[in-house]
Structure 1
Amino acid sequence: MLGLSLEAIGIALVTALAAGFVRGLAGFGLSVVIVPVLALTIAPREAVLVGNISLFLIGLTDIGRIRREADRSAIPITLLALAFMPLGLWALVTLSADWARLLIALVSLGAFVLVVVPLGKIAMPRKPAMGLSGFFTGFFGGFAGMPGPGMAPFYLRGRLPPREARASMMAIFLVLTPLSSALFIALGVGGMREVLLALLLFPAVLVGDLMGHAAFGRVTPRQWQVSVALVLGGAAAGAVWKLLEG
């Protein structure tokens, strides 16, 4: 099926369920979970495309929540991300695998550190912080299909209520992912097989996402911050592992 064994499809479905849960709880992280697993059976670039399509499909289910809860900061960050996403795509198709692993590790570790360092230790004016968030969101979204590490530090350190912060990240994903997917396909990175694979995985993503939303309603703001930090920590650990392995 789609050039994959039944075992690979089964693993992908279980991973999609877990990725959906992480996304529903944290507001991002679907690609952080699903892309590395898919990359074990298909080309990494194609795995990034599947992750982007999956993010867009699940984002369509949250339009109402996004309209009610998202903060206006999502607008300038999205515009900046759109401007810098082509730079990330260019890096994806031109840099060697070694450089790619290094950049992913550096950005992932940087995002994790910015989240876990006590808020009083690092302070940046809102507009420069928003600018950096837009740049890294766009670059990392195009380069690795993981815009979340670029925006998560801003929304956790900006002291928005978790509900607004989570909805704002979802809003940015909803705009970036279809454009990123279209650019991937235009560049010849993937095609109909990846679209069909994303559609096949979508029911599992949706069920996991609903479970994540239910869990979000039961956690405190502090518990939500810890869950986001754990997602970023997992991404950073995976990136460093790939760097050392390579």
Structure 2
Amino acid sequence: MEIFGGFTALQIAVALAAALGSAFVRGLTGFGMAILLVPVLALALPPVEAVVLANALSLMIGATEIRSLVRDAEPTAWAIGGIVVLTTPLGLYALSLTGKDVARLAIALIALSAFVAILLPKRGAAVPGRLVTGGVGVLSGLMTGYAGMPGPPVVPYYAGRDLPRPTIKASMQLIFTIAACAGLASATWLGILRPELLLFALLMLPMIILGNRLGARVSGRISDSLWRVTVGLILGGAAAAAFVRLI
């Protein structure tokens, strides 16, 4: 029975639980909300609506932190974010041409490469070259268009370097906020952004804020080594889940 904006009580319950858990991971690691949230939402909602809803929530939570994100992010986040805006529509277009199986294979391979990259020894704090930075932006934008998941290319770019944790988290989250804007703009252009989804996102936002704050509080109490292990485990789990879906 529909009780809110065309959604059933079960759909709302699943979405709220997923919102709390995925936002906790975001607050803890700086990423992971879309990686965890989209597959769970897709169990209760059409996949396209799950991606749009996740983008709306990512934009909303990013907007509540925008001052700290702008203050703490590395300048490369703006460059990568700009490329994401340009390439997200290409991701949507490529998905329409290649089909779901090829898209799933691409997502699985990128997720696996991100997991391998995070296991490599930490690099210095120096900014990678323009080619690497541009490549991260292109892959992140394509993955935003494919599945609403800009994180796998971005995480090893920052977390694999010897940077302060606040800089790593702010840089990633600024890019994800920009990616969410691009995703919602694309959804609007394609006519799939229903007003009911935005209302649903507003309903879920308190759970997102709560989970994010709890995760951030825990993040401040653990060591850098444990934090990096957690980042690796989440990336590994995302890669494994991507290959399971592929099979």
In the superposition, the TM-score normalised over structure 1's length comes to 0.92
In the alignment, structure 1 residue 78 sits paired with structure 2 residue 81:
yes
For 1:46-86, what per-residue CA distance to the aligned partner results, in whole angstroms no more than 9, with x for missing partners?
11111101000000111122132111111211122222212
Aligned to 2:162: 159
Letter of the 1:147 counterpart: P
Aligned to 2:64: 61
For residue 210 of structure 1, report the CA deviation from its aligned partner.
0.6
Answer yes or no: is the 8 Å Cα contact 2:120–2:160 preserved in 1.
no
Give 3-state SS (helix, strand or coil) of 1:39's partner. helix
Alpha-carbon distance in structure 2 between the residues aligned to 1:170 and 1:229: 17
In the alignment, structure 1 residue 25 sits paired with structure 2 residue 28:
yes
In structure 2, which of residues 122, 136, 139 is the aligned counterpart of residue 136 of structure 1? 139
Answer yes or no: is the 8 Å Cα contact 1:74–1:172 preserved in 2.
yes
Gaps of 5+ in 1: none
Runs of 4+ in 1 over 2 A off after TM superposition: 1-5, 91-95, 117-120, 124-129
Give 3-state SS (helix, strand or coil) of 2:43's partner. coil
Aligned to 1:126: 129
In the alignment, structure 1 residue 173 sits paired with structure 2 residue 183:
no
- What is the 5 A alignment of 1:226-241? 226-241=229-244
Letter of the 2:101 counterpart: D
Letter of the 2:95 counterpart: L
In the alignment, structure 1 residue 193 sits paired with structure 2 residue 196:
yes
In the alignment, structure 1 residue 109 sits paired with structure 2 residue 112:
yes
For residue 192 of structure 1, report the CA deviation from its aligned partner.
1.5
Letter of the 1:61 counterpart: T
Alpha-carbon distance in structure 2 between the residues aligned to 1:69 and 1:190: 31
For 1:146-180, what per-residue CA distance to the aligned partner results, in whole angstroms no more than 9, with x for missing partners?
10112111002232111101101111122221222
Aligned to 2:100: 97
Alpha-carbon distance in structure 2 between the residues aligned to 1:142 and 1:98: 15
Answer yes or no: is the 8 Å Cα contact 1:161–1:221 preserved in 2.
no
Letter of the 2:7 counterpart: L
Letter of the 1:64 counterpart: R
How many residue pairs end up in the alignment?
242
Q: What is the aligned-residue RMSD (CA, Å)?
A: 1.8
In the superposition, the TM-score normalised over structure 2's length comes to 0.91
For residue 91 of structure 1, report the CA deviation from its aligned partner.
2.2
Answer yes or no: is the 8 Å Cα contact 1:87–1:139 preserved in 2.
yes
Instruction: Give the share of equivalent positions with the same residue, in percent.
Output: 39
For 1:73-128, what per-residue CA distance to the aligned partner results, in whole angstroms no more than 9, with x for missing partners?
112111222222121121233432212221211111111111123347xxx95333
Assess, with a 3 A threshold, how the Cα gap between structure 1 residues 18 and 189 changes in structure 2: closer, same or farther: same
For 1:198-228, what per-residue CA distance to the aligned partner results, in whole angstroms no more than 9, with x for missing partners?
1121111110001011111112121221121
Aligned to 1:212: 215
Alpha-carbon distance in structure 2 between the residues aligned to 1:231 and 1:175: 22
In the alignment, structure 1 residue 14 sits paired with structure 2 residue 17:
yes
Letter of the 2:39 counterpart: P
Alpha-carbon distance in structure 1 between the residues aligned to 2:209 and 2:95: 28
Letter of the 1:111 counterpart: A
Alpha-carbon distance in structure 1 between the residues aligned to 2:59 and 2:132: 26
Alpha-carbon distance in structure 1 between the residues aligned to 2:55 and 2:128: 31
Letter of the 1:105 counterpart: A
